[in-house]
Copies of this chain bind each other. A is one copy, B any other.
């Protein structure tokens, strides 16, 4: 047998790869680490699954997912030509990085932000520009100046893992001032007081990306979608895998997006729990970043996020910890049910 030598591109060998939040296989854990929704998907999805036509699975799915795109267009006030769907939001980010970046075309993003972006940049072999946020995670005045060399600017709003929003007026200035594509990653925007979905009507360089993972309780299904002008959508369609969204996901995501009443009720429960947990943590002298998402970024009074993360782990409570100068004080807590959050608060009080 021949000996193995590395056949990979040097960039791949040099990468360590993205580490997703832990998916523990033990069942009695309190899992508040990957921003999943604690409530089940809407009844239409549960019924739809029971009534799905399994025999049809022998056929390929619709490669352009027209029925699902029409539903998204209708619910969000756009046309089919403004919509592209993907195998989860991560697939949409991959599509965007492959479409707009390469060795000569760099990407810019905030720091801290979603830790997948630098991994995607390494994978694509493009340079990246990190734009540091201020200590309170708001933006600096020189954001546009720093981002200027890039062809793609990713703004995560609400930001992760911090949970806060860049003000909507500042967003407008960024989109009109940046000469390249602005991808607004709105994975958490359904929990926010406002969002940028209307920007697509104003700016030909804006892509707003969404997911059903959090607000629709469908992380297991993998469905992301993006809204942009038809020219951007058309080009991104060339980059996506032909059959990137499977048949059951197209079918069930449509049922979920149609049920806006259940959706709003679930989101309202989570934002109410978020408000309650924020007060309780503040009463315990935690520093809590103003959250517009379904998680809190909170620093204990001693400013040692790692110690608290480990202590919670010993109680089978899993949150997420991000080492680093600007983030190491904090832990990130997914908003669970009232009972789950009570268990957390009870422990913290001790």
Chain A residues engaging chain B, CB cutoff 8 angstroms: 1-9, 11-13, 15-18, 20-21, 23, 34, 36-41, 45-46, 49-50, 52, 54-63, 87-88, 90-91, 94, 98-103, 105, 116, 123, 125, 151-152, 176, 180-181, 201-205, 213, 217-222, 229, 231-232, 235, 237-239, 241-244, 246-249, 252
Contact = CB atoms under 8 A, between A and B. Distances in A.
Contacts of A204: 1-5
Q: Name the residue among A5, A37, A217, A246 with the largest chain B CB count within 10 angstroms.
A: A246
**Interface of chain A, helix or strand or loop or mixed?**
loop
Given A221-B248, A249-B246, A102 B9 contact: yes
A242 B45 CA distance: 24
A4 B220 CA distance: 36
A20 B6 CA distance: 33
A60 B17 contact: no
B6 A231 contact: yes
26 contacts: A4-B204, A4-B232, A7-B151, A7-B232, A9-B99, A12-B99, A12-B235, A13-B235, A20-B63, A20-B243, A23-B61, A23-B63, A38-B58, A40-B57, A50-B54, A57-B218, A57-B221, A58-B220, A59-B219, A60-B213, A90-B242, A102-B125, A103-B103, A220-B247, A220-B248, A221-B246
Number of copies: 2
A88 to B, nearest CB: 6
Given A9-B99, A9-B101, A87-B87, 18 more contacts: A3-B204, A4-B231, A8-B99, A9-B102, A16-B238, A17-B237, A18-B238, A20-B60, A23-B62, A41-B55, A49-B49, A56-B220, A57-B219, A87-B241, A87-B244, A91-B241, A220-B247, A248-B249
A2 B203 contact: yes
Nearest to A5: B204
A100 B54 CA distance: 37
Closest 10 CB pairs of A and B: A220-B247, A17-B238, A4-B204, A57-B220, A58-B217, A46-B54, A222-B246, A40-B55, A20-B242, A60-B219
